[in-house]
Amino acid sequence: MARPLILGAGPAGCAAAVELARSGVSPTLLDRCATVGDPLCGGFMSWRTLSQLEALGIDLSDLGGQPVDRLRLFGRGTWVETPLPRPSLGLSRHALDTRMRETATTAGAQFAIDTIRGISASTAHGQRQDWHGESLFLATGKHDVRGHSRPRQSEDPALGLRLRLPPGNARRRLIGSAIELHLFRGGYAGIVLQEGGSANICLALRKSALASAGGDPLTLLSRVAEDNAGFADRLGPDFSRARVESIGAVPYGWIAHETKPGLFRLGDQAAVIPSLAGEGMSIAVASGTMAARHWLQGGTGAAQAYQRAFAARAYRPVQMAKAARVLAETRLGAAAALALARLLPGLVIDLAERCRIGRDSIQSDRATCTHARPC
C-alpha cells in the first residue's frame, strides 16, 4: 500500500503521523514551514487533550507549561470561578507543535517542506513539486486548500485576534492557575498563562464588533476594558505595544460530514468547534488518531467511513459549544450564564464535559482495528 501523505504538521497531522508510524507505516508529513511557528489558536490543553496526547506517548511535562485547575468567567462588573473537572495546561502552540513534530519524525514519519496550492484526485500540487499519494490526510488547520475550501457564508463572520503579553508579577497574581473567559457584546476573550509566565489573550468576535471599533483591534480592546475592570487589569497599561495577530472568517460550527474517496479531513478541516470550549486541540488530536486507525483498518477506501464516523462523534460537542457561544455574545446571555454558574456550578462542569469528544469512543477504534498491520 502506498505511503500516506499528510498535509499539515500541526497537532492533527502529527497525531495521524505518530499513530501510523508506530503501526509500521512511514507517512510523508508535509508542511509549508521548516521552523515551527506559534499559531493563533490552541494555547490551552484541556484535561481531555492531555489524556489523548498521553495515549499517543507524547509527554508535555518538561515544557514548562502553566498548570490550570479552574475556570473564571467574567461579565460586565461581575465574575464567578469554578474548578475544572481535571488538571489542564496552558502551553503555547510553538512548544506543543515542536514536541509533536519531534515525536512524529522519531517514530518514523518522513518530514518534507512545500506549500500546497491545490489538490486534484490523489495529487497535492506544491510550489516545489507535485506530491502523489493514494491517501491524502488534509490537516491544514484554518488555512483552506484550493478546491477543498470550507463554506464561509455568514453575514457576520467570526474573527480571531491574539496578543501575547510579557511575564509580570501583577498578571501572574491575577490569573494564576485559571483559564479565564471575559464575555463582551459580540464576542469573548480567553486568557491563560503559558510557559515563562507570558499571558496568551485570544479573542473570538463577530466582524461587526470589530467594525464598531473602526476596524482597529486596539480600539476594540480598549472599549472592552472600559466595560470590564478585570479585563483592563489583565491588559495592563502597556498592552498597546504588543503585536496583535488576526485570522478572518472562522467557520465556527462547521463539520465535514462527507469527503472524497481517499481524502481524510482532520482537525479544523473536519470540525471547527467554537474556541470558548477550549477543545480545539482535542478535536485535532482525536481526528488525527481516528483517521489513522481507519486507514490502518481499511486503507484509502476507509476515508468516507472515517469522515462520517468522526462527524457523528463531533456533532454534539460542536453543537453544545455553538449554543454556549451564542449565549456568551449577548449582554443578557452573558449575565444569565454568570448567574447560572454562580447558583449551579455543576452545570458549568457538565457543559464542559459535553463540549468534548468522549475518549472512550476514540479508544474503541483501536479495539475494532483488524488490518494486517498492528493497531
Does the residue 292 lie in any domain? yes
pLDDT computed for residue 374 by the predictor: 36
Domain membership of residue 301 (yes or no) is yes
- For 5, 24, 31, 102, 107, the CA distances from 17, given in Å and listed in that order, are 9, 11, 12, 11, 8
From the centroid of its chain, how far is CA 70?
19
Is residue 268 assigned to a domain? yes
pLDDT at 365: 56
* Domain membership flag for residue 107: yes
Q: In 10 A of CB 241, how many CB atoms?
A: 9
Q: What is the pLDDT of residue 356?
A: 82
Strand order in the sheet with 5-7: 110-113, 28-31, 5-7, 136-138, 263-265
| CATH number of 311's domain | 3.50.50.60
Report the predicted TM-score, pTM, of the whole model to 2 decimal places.
Answer: 0.92
Tell me how crowded residue 117 is: count the other CB atoms within 10 A of its CB: 12
Q: For residue 86, is it within any domain?
A: yes
End-to-end CA distance of the chain: 16
* Per-residue b or e along 248-287, where b marks 16 or more CB atoms closer than 10 Å to that residue's CB: eebbbbbbbeebbebbbbbbbbbbbbbbbbbbbbbbbbbb
| pLDDT tens readout for residues 351-372 | 777 778 865 545 555 544 444 3
pLDDT at residue 147, as a whole number: 81
Looking at residue 232, what is its pLDDT? Answer: 96
Cell numbers 449575565 correspond to 335
Average pLDDT per run of 10 along the chain, which is 375 residues long?
88 98 96 91 92 94 96 90 93 97 97 94 92 94 88 86 94 97 93 96 94 96 94 94 91 94 96 88 96 96 97 93 87 84 79 72 49 39
Domain hosting residue 46, numbered range: 5-153+251-368
Structural domain contains residue 234: no
Domain assignment present for 119: yes
- Residue 46 belongs to a domain: yes
Total tally of structural domains belonging to the chain: 1
- Which pLDDT score, from 0 to 100, does residue 278 have? 82
pLDDT of 375 reads 36
